[in-house]
Amino acid sequence: MRIYNTMTREIDPVETTHPDVARIYACGPTVYRDAHVGNMRTFLVTDLIARTLRYEGLRTIVVQNITDVGHMADDTGLGDGNESLPGSQDKMLAESEKTGKSALDIARHFESAFHQDLSRLNIYPADHYPKASESIDSMITLIQKLIDSGNAYIGTDNSVYFSAESFPSYGALSGNKLDSLRPGHKFDAEENESAKKFHADWALWKSAGENRTQLTWETPWGRGFPGWHTECSAMSLDLLGESIDIHTGGIDLRFPHHEDERAQSNSATSGDGKSGNHEVVRHWVHAEHLLFETRKMSKSSGNVVLVQDVIDRGYDPLALRLAFMQHKYRSQMNLTWEVIESSQELLDRWRHKVNIWSQSDSQAMDQSVVDEISGYFSQDLNTPMAVNALRTLEKSSDISDGAKFEIFAHLDSLFGLDLAREVGKDLNPTTQIPTEVSELLEQRNAARSAKDWALSDELRDQIAGYGFTVVDTSDGAHLEPTKS
Ligand code: AMP
Ligand code: ZN
């Protein structure tokens, strides 16, 4: 597989440290609210990468963190859909204040909703879902290591800061080099500028003020809580070791979250501590943002859409998955209800056809077609081309129905659309007609024989009430489910 690497700005081959295993770390949700469909599009990218690598024969180990402490409300201007929160507050605590529930109760509630949404979108569960609040010991160990190596120091406010200047290649990932970061450009509103030595330093650990009554821990530097970037270094190093093959997240995380994580992880694992010359992450993958009806999803503009909203409108959540796959993960996508509707129609049609094809004699798959379509996944996740190739295959007159069935069923391990869901479903709807409706049809036939047109029409209307249309043909009347 080849995929765009934010670090090299090239589409690089995925080269794994271990020949048979790909180690993948995905930044997960901040669980103070439901994940919206934009978040889900980013989580889907990790699933598509993992499916492609497994299809190519690798084993995958996927870790996705649950952020339940330390993520401050947005003040970067990039937005995360909840700008109503004050910038200087931990998102979990802000929600706790608003609802009167404990931060951890809120976290467990939205964590479970997140798992449900993943499963609705056929996103395979990760192997590990570490929680920030349960990884404090690892974070303390990491921070101590960075202090010992001279990469971090205790500020005048007893918070621990990472020294950006101690990491010479700072900025290589995002392009935000230290000399271009202006003093006073704050990425964390709560940070105390005067307590740190250099304006681009950031807090690994924050000293807790008296007002903070939840989510604090005792440490060698006093009571406090972790800075957001600390958790991803600590948890990824803990669970995946010092060589991580692929790290994923949304484009907004490139800076400062991933830039800072890279500095922390590389510094903690390079032999001399100072130079940070060991590259922990080999491949950085960032997914572009989703817009809804041309606007950024935000609570204040009332256009945050959840997977549940899609279901409530009668759509299969996998229509959403198909809609996402019809756009390149590296381009912004504008989702609309019309886009979901047309994806639903395509999905319904494919499932119906797969059912019809399944009733033909099975035929061997045409390997060149399979390789072409799976090859699109391997080429920087070109899922739009893969979807188009399935459309072409569907219409092809050169490939038998039996082979089409085999190819669709086989490639569903990549697409994840449950394409064979309707196999075995009765193709003849007349056998599913309720007895009341059959009786009404018989009465209508009798009325027509007696030329009682008024009664016949009335019975036809009664039948329509059950969702069936009477179709009169030269062979007599039969029933079809009414098309909506
Ligand atoms: P959060 O729960 O805010 O920490 O975000 C979880 C993931 O969703 C991160 O990888 C974000 O970069 C990503 N994300 C946030 N907003 C969007 C969006 N509108 N479209 C796509 N991904 C997003
Ligand atoms: Zn992260």
27-60 residue pLDDT tens:
999 999 999 999 999 999 999 999 999 999 999 9
Which residue has a Cα nearest atom 9 of ligand 1?
Answer: 250
Ligand 1 in reach of 283 Cβ (< 6 A): no
**What is the pLDDT at residue 425?**
83
For residues 125 and 84, which has the higher predicted lDDT (pLDDT)? Answer: 125
Assess whether the C-beta atom of 276 lies below 6 angstroms from ligand 1.
no
Closest CA to 383 of 328, 438, 302: 328
**How confident is the model over 278-293, as a mean pLDDT?**
97
Whether the CB-CB separation of 221 and 147 falls below 8 Å is answered with no
CB-count exposure of residue 213 (10 Å: 0-12, 13-18, 19+): exposed
| Dist CA 31 CA 152 (whole Å) | 29
Cα–Cα distance measured from residue 55 to residue 477, given in angstroms and rounded to the nearest whole number: 50
Contact between residue 198 and residue 165 where contact means Cβ atoms under 8 Å apart: yes
pLDDT for res 78: 38
The Cα 467–Cα 482 span in angstroms is: 5
- Stretch 341-367: mean pLDDT, rounded? 95
Contact 151, 167 (CB under 8 A): yes
Read off the pLDDT of residues 76-120 as tens digits, 9 standing for 90 and up: 433 343 434 444 688 999 999 899 999 999 999 999 999 999 999
Domain 290-415 has CATH 1.10.730.10: yes
Ligand 1 pocket, residue 231 CB under 6 Å: no
CB-ligand 1 contact for 37 (6 Å cutoff):
no
- Quick: pLDDT tens for 201-258: 999 999 998 888 899 999 999 999 999 999 999 999 999 999 999 999 999 999 999 9
Ligand 2 ion local residues (Cβ < 5 A): 27, 232
Whole-number percent of the chain with pLDDT over 90: 78
Task: Give the closest residue to 234 by CA, choosing from 135, 106, 113.
Answer: 135
Q: For all residues of the chain together, what is the average pLDDT?
A: 91
Output the CA 385–ligand 1 centroid distance in Å.
Answer: 25
Task: Provide the CB-side half-sphere exposure for 461 (13 A, CA).
Answer: 6
Question: Which atom of ligand 1 has the smallest separation from the CA of 28?
Answer: 6
Supply the pLDDT for residue 480: 80
Superfamily per CATH, domain 2-287: HUPs (3.40.50.620)
Calpha distance 67→70 (Å, rounded): 8
Query: 235 alpha carbon to ligand 2 midpoint, in Å?
Result: 9
- The reported pLDDT for the residue numbered 82 is 42
Nearest CA to ligand 1 atom 11: 250
Distance CA 73, CA 80 (A): 9
How far, in Å, is the centroid of ligand 2 from the Cα of 463?
Answer: 57
Residue-level pLDDT at 81: 39
Determine the distance from the C-alpha atom of residue 289 to the mean position of all C-alpha atoms in its chain, rounded to a whole number.
11
Report which secondary-structure segment, H or E, holds 72: none
Q: Is the peptide bond before 384 cis (omega within 30 degrees of 0)?
A: no
Residue spans per domain, the chain: 2-287, 290-415, 435-481
pLDDT interval class at 429 (50, 70, 90): low
Q: CA-to-CA distance for 427 and 431, rounded, in angstroms? A: 9
Which of 33, 71, 72, 80 to probe ligand 1 with, by most ligand atoms within 8 A of CB?
80
Q: Looking at residues 285-314, what average pLDDT do you find?
A: 93
| Confidence tier at 192 by pLDDT (50, 70, 90) | confident
Cβ distance 355 to 33 under 8 Å? no
How far, in Å, CA of 143 to CA of 204, rounded? 7
Nearest ligand atom owner, CA of 257:
2
Contacts of 63 (CB under 8 A, 6+ apart): 23, 24, 25, 26, 126, 127, 128, 129, 130, 235, 236, 239, 240
pLDDT bin (cut points 50, 70, 90) of residue 271 is confident
Q: Residue 262 C-alpha to ligand 1 middle, in angstroms?
A: 19
* pLDDT at position 189: 57
151-160, 204-213, 359-368: least confident range = 204-213
For residue 49, the number of C-alpha atoms closer than 13 Å in the C-beta half-sphere is: 33
Higher-pLDDT residue of 211 and 331 is: 331
| Residue 314 structure tokens | 């009668």
Residue 266 makes CB contacts below 8 A (sequence gap 6+) with 167, 169, 276, 277, 278, 279, 280
Enclosing H/E stretch for 203: strand 202-207
pLDDT at 79: 39
Give the rounded distance of the alpha carbon of 311 from its chain centre.
17
Strands (E), 351-446: none
254 vs 74: which has the higher pLDDT: 254
- Asked if omega into 481 is within 30° of 0 (cis), the reply is no
What's the pLDDT at 179? 79
Which residues face 250 on adjacent strands?
287
Under DSSP, is residue 304 helix (H, G, I), strand (E, B) or coil? coil
**Which pLDDT score is estimated for 430?**
59
pLDDT at 6 over 50: yes
Position 188 scores a pLDDT of 62
Q: Is the beta carbon of 70 within 6 A of some atom in ligand 1?
A: no
Phi and psi at residue 202, to the nearest 5°: -135, 160
**CA–CA separation, 140 vs 143, rounded Å?**
5
